[in-house]
Amino acid sequence: MSCGSPHELDCGEALAHLYEFIDGEVAATDHERIAEHLHECWPCLQEFDVERLVKALVARSCVDHAPDQLRARVVSQLAVTRIRWEKPRPQ
């Protein structure tokens, strides 16, 4: 997506880091660049607003916690998958 206007940070890069920006997981310098881009770019600001709203709705709707047994199975399966992924494959 691009608004067609030149920006120091292009739309694609700003949108690629939108979730990290919303979650406060970008470095301070990147945060400033993305915030400035959103201030200048209406289409990206609209996308930001939509994503922030969806994230808030999901967070509000997902208040149930997984049962301990299910959580243990998921964590175990993730460990098995990680071991399989990291295991060298014969050539």
Q: What is the pLDDT of residues 57-88, one digit of tens each?
A: 888 887 777 788 988 998 888 888 776 665 56
Tell me if 22 is assigned to some domain.
Answer: yes
CA distance 15 to 45: 10
Tell me if 54 is assigned to some domain.
Answer: yes
Tell me if 44 is assigned to some domain.
Answer: yes
Tell me if 74 is assigned to some domain.
Answer: no
Using the 8-state DSSP alphabet, how is residue 1 labeled?
A: -
**Domains: count for the chain:** 1
Domain that holds residue 47: 11-65
Tell me if 75 is assigned to some domain.
Answer: no
- pLDDT surpasses 70 at 4: no
